[in-house]
């Protein structure tokens, strides 16, 4: 665009033909206009706030979706790790014998695959059940609470589970060995299903973001059809014109991304604070690593790139459709 001047006599006839004042055209199409550096009056507030609002919402929702995936991945890994290398032996309340339980734990520790075996104390059981049953002091003696033996494994395989089961039943026929296999299978199924739903939601957010940007560009170009025709007459290339709309979309998207990041950060920070200070013990602690933080940084960058690419492609297509 540096090779044309709206004030040239050669262009004055075109300006008169379209009924545009020459001085006004010089202000609108100058290389350094007061409206943000655009040769088209894109700075006018015709739906700008709505575009920024939608970008903010898309950024906020995408951060929530990705945060849910990251958190679910960490939680499921910790849950699976906690169940995979542990077995629980449940001894009915009617058959509880302290000497027999002590002998069982001693024999279990002799197995090469067992890292540790110990009886779960009443105080620990009370703390584990308190989120659901409240204080256990008053009702502890009224409930037939079984004795629990926690077995920590060095490595999980089917053979070690069979050995522990045979040893336990030889000493306590009524005891039940829980290898948590059904819990592991159900937990992994639920985690995978929830991850899949979150990924679908995130993909939908990206598609909606692209559609919003495309619609915004088409709307703006429809509003400024007259200016676009004039720019073509004055020698502006399609690449230059599409660059104008791409810069406009990127500028508004950047504002929306900023607000979305702030809202997302405040929301996630609030959830993290509640988890740390008011956690009943049913949820594991969430510790993020460098890859997680890099992912949170990449999400706004991805949305910004989608906005720019969509704006450029849409503008070129609209210009190609013009006569």
Domain locations in the chain as residue ranges = 9-79+185-321, 93-174
Which one has a higher pLDDT value, 34 or 171? 171
Q: Is the pLDDT of residue 315 over 70?
A: yes
For the chain, give the secondary structure using H, E and C. CCCCCCCCHHHHHHHHHCCCCHHHHHHHCCCCCCCCCCCCCCCCCCCHHHHHHHHHHHHHHHHHHHHHHHHHHHHHHHHHHHHHCEEEEEECHHHCCHHHHHHHHHHHHCCCCEEEEEECCHHHHHHHHHHHHCCCCCCHHHCCCCEEEEEEECCCCHHHHHHHHHHHHHHCCCCEEECCHHHHHHHHHHHHHHHHHHHHHHHHHHHHHHHHHHHHHHHHHHHCHHHHHHHHHCCCCHHHHHHHHHHHHHHHHHHHHHHHHHHHHHHHHHHHHHHHHCCCCCCCCCCCCHHHHHHHHHHHHHHHHHHHHHHHHHHHHHHHHCC
Give the tens place of pLDDT for each residue, 215-235. 888 888 888 788 888 887 787
pLDDT average, residue stretch 247-269: 88
Q: Is the pLDDT of residue 60 over 90?
A: yes
Both structure tokens of 6: 């709206």
pLDDT average, residue stretch 189-211: 89
Architecture of domain 93-174: 2-Layer Sandwich (3.30)
Q: Is the pLDDT of residue 19 over 50?
A: no
Q: Is the pLDDT of residue 116 over 90?
A: no
Q: pLDDT grade, residue 309 (50/70/90)?
A: very high
Q: pLDDT grade, residue 42 (50/70/90)?
A: low
Q: Is the pLDDT of residue 159 over 70?
A: yes
Report the mean per-residue pLDDT for the chain.
76
């Amino acid at each position: 665009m540096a090779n044309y001047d709206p004030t040239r006599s050669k262009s004055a006839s075109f300006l008169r033909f379209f009924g545009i004042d020459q001085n006004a055209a010089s202000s609108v199409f100058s290389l350094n206009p007061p409206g943000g550096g655009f040769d088209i009056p894109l700075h006018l507030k015709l739906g700008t706030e709505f575009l920024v609002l939608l970008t903010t919402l898309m950024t906020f929702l995408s951060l929530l979706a990705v945060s849910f995936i990251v958190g679910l991945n960490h939680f499921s890994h910790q849950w699976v790790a906690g169940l995979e290398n542990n077995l629980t032996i449940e001894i009915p309340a009617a058959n509880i014998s302290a000497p027999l339980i002590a002998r069982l734990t001693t024999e279990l520790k002799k197995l090469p695959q067992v890292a540790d075996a110990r009886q779960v104390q009443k105080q620990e059981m009370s703390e584990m059940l308190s989120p659901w049953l409240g204080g256990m002091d008053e009702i502890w003696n009224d409930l037939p609470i079984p004795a629990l033996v926690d077995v920590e494994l060095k490595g999980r395989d089917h053979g070690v589970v069979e050995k522990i089961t045979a040893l336990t039943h030889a000493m306590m026929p009524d005891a039940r060995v829980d290898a948590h296999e059904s819990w592991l299978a159900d937990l992994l199924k639920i985690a995978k299903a929830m991850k899949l739903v979150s990924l679908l939601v995130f993909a939908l957010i990206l598609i909606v973001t692209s559609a919003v940007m495309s619609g915004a560009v088409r709307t703006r170009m429809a509003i400024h059809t007259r200016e676009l025709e004039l720019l073509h007459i004055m020698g502006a290339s399609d690449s230059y014109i599409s660059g104008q709309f791409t810069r406009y979309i990127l500028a508004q998207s950047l504002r929306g991304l900023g607000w979305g990041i702030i809202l997302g950060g405040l929301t996630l920070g609030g959830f993290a604070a509640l988890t740390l200070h008011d956690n009943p013990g049913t949820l594991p602690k969430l510790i993020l690593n460098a890859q997680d933080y890099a992912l949170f940084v990449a999400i706004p960058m991805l949305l910004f790139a989608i906005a720019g690419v969509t704006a450029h492609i849409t503008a070129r297509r609209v210009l190609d459709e013009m006569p």
